[in-house]
Amino acid sequence: MFHKKEKIESMWLNSAERNNSKAKIEQKIKKEIQEEYRRQADSLRKRDDFREELEYFLEILSLPISPREVKKRFSGPFVGLYCIQAPLELFDALGFHPIRLCSGSLAIQRLSAPFLPALSCPLIKSCISAFYLDESIEKLCDIVVVPTTCDWNTKLPEMIPEKASPLYIMELPHIKESERGQIRWLEEIYELKRFLQQRAGRKLNRRQLQISVNKYMKGWQVFGRLIEFRRKRLICGTWSIVLANAFMIDDVESWTERVNIVLKNYGNPKGNSNPGVFLAGSPVFFPYLKISELIEEAGMDILADELCTSERLMASVVYDEPSEYGLLKALSERYHLPCSCPTYIDNDRRLKNILNTMRAYNIKGIVYHLLKGCHPYDIESFYFEKVIKENGFHFLKIESDYSREDRQNILARLEAFRETLC
């Protein structure tokens, strides 16, 4: 009996030691994450084109390192989103605050490294790791909505801790131009509506949905102006990406108001002769701004992009429907049909739009950014390169991750690419 008691005490001590060690490691990683965010924000503040009104967006993008501030700033409940396919207006109309669960942190990835393949997508590794922190935006979410875009998203329920926020899976039809695909996606929107009504404890009100639609339409219109400013070189590509990133966390009305203030103070072209480029490929999310910063450091201007964390967020659609069905159908089409994610099979519209934009704004080259392990973008890059070159444009594929070690190598390749555009 005495030996049994000793064994139990020994096991308890071993468990306590392991927990203590885990807590120390997590505390160290949290400090590294905070330093990562602060270093990137400070770097942006030191830029010649930094303006005081941009500080607001840096504060918004720094919220992931202070989850308690999220609760103070926004009213819940919170819905975490892993894709831009789910209609934000529907969440807003039922009283939820939607937050895109993207992460550009390198340090945080160590928390999920033991549970994931070595060549996992950096974005997914960062997102999943956040569930292993004792405090994170992910853990604040009452619901996490996952449209099944890439294979990583499809396997997400198996990769996050069992006690994480409730997951709601949206089955994404990968043939979108067909009538069957559009009907299928509208059915998913209705299923999401029913689920959210249960969680909110009330039914969707058509009038409230129209109010939410109007709020976001004002946001889309300002987004359109931001893109025009970028095309005219009134605001640089990196700041445009920063503002778009903040949209995915912020309250839409506050974001719209603040972007309007920024645009009022950016009225003079930069007056340089840098060649313009188009940025395509994998998402870019704060504090991972390596690719956009290096493009600019190499002497090029990002005049356009089609990132799902930047310009692809915006589709200039205006709708005012008299019925709930009409509004939901319009929302379904607005989020589904214009989306050019490589997960879709029928995606010719994507290349046509890119080529048309490049011709319209005299953009001579495309930088195709690829996160290691991002398979859909990797697969399509070969066809992409072929078509881009056949149409007389230059093409550069940059494969990277969230580390800083390859910055000089990427910069050298970008500087060489710039010479081909002059």
Cβ neighbours of 114 (radius 10 Å) = 7
As a whole number, the mean pLDDT across the chain is: 88
Residue 28 lies in a domain: no
Percent of the chain topping pLDDT 90: 61
CATH code for the domain of 112: 3.40.50.11900
The number of folded domains in the chain is 1
Top mean-pLDDT range of 173-187, 229-243, 258-272: 229-243
Q: Quick check: 152 and 124 in contact, CB under 8 A?
A: yes
Average pLDDT, integer, range 409-422:
96
Cβ neighbours of 117 (radius 10 Å) = 9
Query: Is pLDDT of 188 > 90?
Result: yes
| Residue 112: pLDDT band with limits 50, 70, 90 | confident
Residue 10 lies in a domain: no
- Chain-centroid distance of CA 109 in Å reads 17
Q: Which residue, among 192, 157, 158, 199, has the nearest Cα to 172 in the 3D structure?
A: 192
Residue 229 lies in a domain: yes
Instruction: Give the sheet arrangement for strand 301-305, strand by strand.
Output: 301-305, 276-281, 365-371, 394-400
**355-409 pLDDT, tens per residue?**
999 999 999 999 999 999 888 889 899 999 999 999 999 999 999 999 999 999 9
CA atoms in the 13 A half-sphere facing the CB of 323: 3
Query: Is pLDDT of 349 > 90?
Result: no
Residue 11 lies in a domain: no
Residue 7 lies in a domain: no
CA atoms in the 13 A half-sphere facing the CB of 150: 21
- Chain-centroid distance of CA 325 in Å reads 29
pTM of this structure: 0.91
At 13 the pLDDT is: 47
Radius of gyration of the chain (CA): 22
At 350 the pLDDT is: 85
Domain with 269, as residue range(s), is 38-335+347-421
Average pLDDT, integer, range 278-288:
95
Residue 215 lies in a domain: yes
Q: Which residue, among 275, 273, 284, 270, has the nearest Cα to 232 in the 3D structure?
A: 270
Buried b (16+ CB within 10 A) or exposed e, 129-148: bbbbbeebbbbbbebbbbbb
Q: Could you tell me which residues come within 8 angstroms of residue 185 by beta carbon, excluding any fewer than 6 positions away?
A: 172, 173, 176, 332, 336
Residue 71 lies in a domain: yes
- Chain-centroid distance of CA 215 in Å reads 21
Query: Is pLDDT of 163 > 70?
Result: no
- Three-state SS letters, 409-422: HHHHHHHHHHHHHC
**56-110 pLDDT, tens per residue?**
999 999 999 998 899 889 987 999 998 888 999 999 999 999 999 888 899 999 8
Residue 370 lies in a domain: yes
Q: Which residue, among 417, 421, 419, has the nearest Cα to 368 in the 3D structure?
A: 417
Query: Is pLDDT of 150 > 90?
Result: no
Hey, what are 105's tokens?
Answer: 């942190």
**189-240 pLDDT, tens per residue?**
999 999 999 999 999 999 999 999 999 999 999 999 999 999 999 999 999 9
Query: Is pLDDT of 8 > 50?
Result: no
At 131 the pLDDT is: 87
Query: Is pLDDT of 124 > 90?
Result: no
- Using a 10 angstrom Cβ sphere, with 0-12 exposed, 13-18 middle and 19 or more buried, the burial of residue 7 is exposed
